[in-house]
Structure 1
Amino acid sequence: MNTKLSQLTIIFLALGAFVTGTSEFVVSGILELISLEMGVSISIAGQLITIYSLSYAFGALFLVMLTSTFDRKKILLYAIFTFIVGNFIAFLSYNFIMLLLSRIIMGMSGGLYIVVATNYAAQLASPKRKGSAIATVITGFTVSLVFGVPIGTFLAGYFDWHYIFLIIAFGTILLLMGLYKLLPSIKGNQALSLKQQVNIIKDRRVLTGLMTTITWILGYTLVFAYVAPLLSSTANLSIEMTSIALFVLGTFAFVGSRFGGYAVDRWGPNHTITVSLIVHIVALFILTFTQHSTIGVFITFAVWGIATWTTTPAKQYYLVSLKPQSSETVLSFNTALMNIGMMMGSALGGVIITYINITNLSWIAGLFVFTSLIFIKYSFYLDKNITNKPTTS
């Protein structure tokens, strides 16, 4: 496959990450509309994000393991097809159980897709551009925050929210046809044994690094999953203004994801992750005071977005550097645990807003991100000790 065709294929793979990300996060912006139509509370509706994240984690970890020996092109195309079916079910859903089922289907297929697509991108790229290819697919997921979620939220102000999933389905059909034509066949690989995978997790540097993933994204999702009801109750923002706030957040999330790659190359994972987490914590605590002002929300969201997603590529770089020979497995764990963190964040957020005022979400989220800072600093400490340990002849 020539270079230009490979680059085009990688872009298509990134578009797949975009649509799966849009389906995952768009619910955050239309939570109140779903709650009203389905006759459930906001906290119950928020579990649509919880179940998606759990299903995504299952797909990213267990379905990847179960299908590892099969032709990767077939698995990727089957994953996309299943994702399309899930979106059609969401469009046709007339009750909460049916909508919940659609989220399970979309989540499992989306999780399988993102891991296979990331691996595909790495194999299609030249050795010197493997990192850039992986980053492109990840950026597709981040761009869903920039355009997918705000546009979906905005459209929900004018059309029935069901049509958002219909649009995603038809867009993904075009993507499926493109990838069918472009993707070369890649044979499956021998899966790592359970013992080999356990040995990876037993490395305390990797374990604490993965705990950072859970607590970091938990803190982020705690606020993000309930951002629409939060802003409507504090700053009195309409759904249109909420979509603009999400656009600001997503734009700076995109900037952060690109800056994170540059920063980790220039300053290393230790400084990049540490600084970005500190800024993330500060932004969440400040949001407690700025959430009552439209301008304050926009400014805080800008800082929050860039800090949060600067962490992502830097943390993935760090985890891969710990186990370069098992990078796909480590990234699979990271993707799965990231979505478990999202699941925990949306579930805990539902409990918090049921028993505590919703205005407390941001500072509570800040405490979880602070926990992630402790985990990653301990991981860096362990890694430094191993690196500096003198070797014996």
Structure 2
Amino acid sequence: MCNLKKNINQVIIILLSLGAFVMGTAEFVVSGILEIISSDLGISISIAGQLITVYSLSYAMGALVLVVLTAKFERKKILLYSIITFIIGNIVAFFSYDYFLLILSRVIKAISGGLYIVVATNYAAQIAITEKKGSAMATVITGFTVSLVLGVPIGTFLAAYLNWRYIFLIIAVFTVFLLLLLYKLLPSIKGKKPIPFKQQIQIIKDRRVIMGVITTIFWILGYTMVFAYISPLLSNGANFSIEMTSIALFVLGTFAFLGSRFGGYAVDKWGPNRTISISLLVHAISLFVLTVTQYSIIGVFITLAVWGGATWTTTSAKQFYLISLKPQSSETILSFNTALMNIGMMLGSALGGILIQHTNIINLTWIGGLFVILAFIFINYSFNLNKAKLRKVRI
């Protein structure tokens, strides 16, 4: 009986990870089909890019505000309602023959997606055995990362042969089956009294944490500024077709996945300080190099591989570092980090859209690299503050 329950819980964790996968696909696939959406709706690339801006802002609201507002309610209901809302958002996207209706669909999907990821990750931790809680949480997050490896390139490839709206219909249908399985298998978990916002602010007032989360904003801003417009960038530089772009996104996503796994290994071997510093420098250098290599097919693939690996190595390493600063308040810190990560994505896509209206799209790469250098400066300031505090504790 005990083994049966354990096996069922493992299945549930995999299903929760699949939920993260479809939500990540719905979020990121727009980058691969941005030119198609722009042409179909008769809007500029810059305006189409704001679909990513709106999503990121709404996702931050879901991950931060809705999580607090729904904390006291039964978790199974909240999780299932978030999935239902996400399905509705994809159906709205399928019928979006107007830009503003498509914006509405992005808001619906993002708010429900932000809520889902936080609740699903916590669910996985609660149903897993004690020694596997960290692994269970990582499995759910991995589902989100795998959307970059499989979901986005597959969606981009399908857009070459189907109307782009069908991508969201396929996502909706897949998610319906996922909803039914989770409805049957999910155990009930009671809600908890939410931590007051003032108390949460007190937790992150530590200057080490502040510098750490500011790093998140600049790191993801530099990444998103380029990733949000990767499709027009590649078609402008190396004359990539939509099929070639989907292959390029597969390479980027594969190395992003490998980077996220390598980050954990590197932290154990070399520590978070060295891992984060080196990965940020490689990230910045990759973007500077992409300014030149974007005209070569081989150059693009090599640079994207290095860029994807370096970027997502930072993710797991920085989460470890932030938790180590305030281990007793890890959920609060990660919640803020997730929210600010999406604000950084919002700023990256918005600023990228403004830049390509007034300058050549090629300039996004080196400007993005400069923001990553700023992230490197801020995180090293945080490291120095932490070292100084540890010296005081020893004295």
TM-score normalized by the length of structure 2: 0.97
> How many angstroms does 1:195 deviate by?
2.0
Q: Is the 8 A contact 1:230 1:358 kept in 2?
A: yes
Give the deviation of 1:262 after TM superposition: 1.5
Structure 1: gaps of 5 or more residues: none
Q: Letter of the aligned partner of 1:200 in structure 2?
A: I
8 A Cα contact 1:273 1:311, kept in partner: yes
Give the aligned length: 392
Give the match for residue 348 of structure 1: 351
Matches within 5 A, 1:219-234: 219-234=222-237
- Structure 1 distance, partners of 2:380, 2:99, is 42
1:124 corresponds in structure 2 to 127
Match for residue 331 of structure 1? 334
Q: Partner residue of 2:101?
A: 98
Pick one of 126, 149, 152 that aligns with 2:152.
Answer: 149
Summarize the alignment of residues 292-303 of structure 1 with structure 2, pairs less than 5 Å apart: 292-303=295-306
Cα distance in 2 between the residues matched to 1:343 and 1:356: 20
Local SS of the residue matching 1:79:
helix
Of 249, 256, 280 in structure 1, the residue corresponding to residue 283 of structure 2 is: 280
Structure 2: how far apart are the matches of 1:278 and 1:154? 32
* 1:297 match: secondary structure: helix
Residue 55 (structure 1) aligns with:
58
- For residue 183 of structure 2, what is the aligned residue in structure 1? 180
The one-letter amino acid of 1:386's match is K
1:45 and 2:59 aligned: no
SS at match of 1:202: coil
Q: Distance in 1 between matches of 2:103 and 2:314?
A: 31
Q: Map residues 371-390 of structure 1 onto 2, 5 A cutoff.
A: 371-390=374-393
Structure 2 stretches lacking a partner, 5+ long: none
How far off is 1:194 after superposition?
2.1
SS at 1:358's partner residue? coil
Letter in 1 for 2:351: L
Residue 83 of structure 1, CA deviation: 0.2
1:46 match: secondary structure: helix
**TM-fit CA distance, 1:267:** 1.9
Cα distance, 1:325 vs structure 2:
1.7
Q: Give the aligned partner of residue 258 of structure 1.
A: 261
Look up the match of 2:241: 238
Q: Distance in 2 between matches of 1:330 and 1:204?
A: 13
Taking the aligned partners of 1:254 and 1:64, their CA distance within structure 2 comes to: 27
Instruction: Check whether the contact 1:119–1:328 (CA below 8 A) recurs between aligned residues.
Output: no
Q: Does 1:192 align with 2:195?
A: yes
Partner of 2:22: 19
- Kindly state the Cα deviation for residue 232 of structure 1 after the two structures are TM-superposed: 0.5
> 2:360 is aligned with what amino acid?
N
1-structure distance, mates of 2:96, 2:28: 18
* 2:360 paired residue among 357, 361, 372: 357
Q: Which residue of 1 aligns with 2:271?
A: 268
Shift of 1:368: 0.4
Q: Deviations over 1:211-263 (max 9, x none)?
A: 11111000000000000000001110001000000000001011111111111
Amino acid at match of 2:157: F
1:387 is displaced (CA, Å) by 1.6
The separation in 1 between residues aligned to 2:327 and 2:109, in whole angstroms, is 30
Q: Which amino acid aligns with 1:61?
A: L
1:7-43 C-alpha deviation (Å, 9 max, x unpaired): 2111111111111110111000111111111111100
In the TM superposition, residue 288 of structure 1 has moved relative to its aligned partner by 0.6
Distance 1:166 1:149 in 2: 15
Contact 1:72 1:187 in 2 (8 A): yes
* Structure 2: distance between partners of 1:390 and 1:260: 28
- Counterpart of 1:163 (choices 163, 166, 171) is 166
Match of 1:64 among 50, 64, 67: 67
Deviation at 1:391, TM superposition (A): 5.8
Aligned residue in 1 for 2:137: 134
Q: Which moved more, 1:140-149 or 1:173-182?
A: 173-182
Whether the 8 Å CA contact 1:82–1:106 is kept in 2: the answer is yes
Residues 135 and 313, structure 1, Cα contact 8 Å, conserved in 2: no
In terms of mean alpha carbon deviation, does 316-325 or 147-156 score higher?
316-325
Per-residue displacement from partner, 1:56-110 (whole Å, max 9, x unpaired)? 0000000001001111111011001000000000001110010000000000000
Compute the RMSD of aligned alpha carbons.
1.1
SS of the residue 2:189 aligns to = coil
Partners in 1 of 2:149 and 2:98 — Cα distance?
29
| Counterpart for residue 311 of structure 1 | 314
- 1:184-203 deviations in Å (ceiling 9; x for gaps): 11111111112211111211
Task: Read off the aligned partner of 2:357 and give its amino acid letter.
Answer: T
CA deviation string 1:36-58 (max 9, x = no partner): 11111100000001001110000
Alignment counterpart, residue 86 of structure 2, candidates 79, 83, 87: 83
Q: Show CA shifts across 1:140-177 (max 9, x none).
A: 11100000000000000000000000000001111111
Counterpart of 2:270 in 1: which secondary structure?
helix
Q: Is the 8 A contact 1:31 1:42 kept in 2?
A: yes
2:371 aligned partner: 368
Which of 88, 107, 110 pairs up with 2:110? 107
Paired letter, 1:89: V
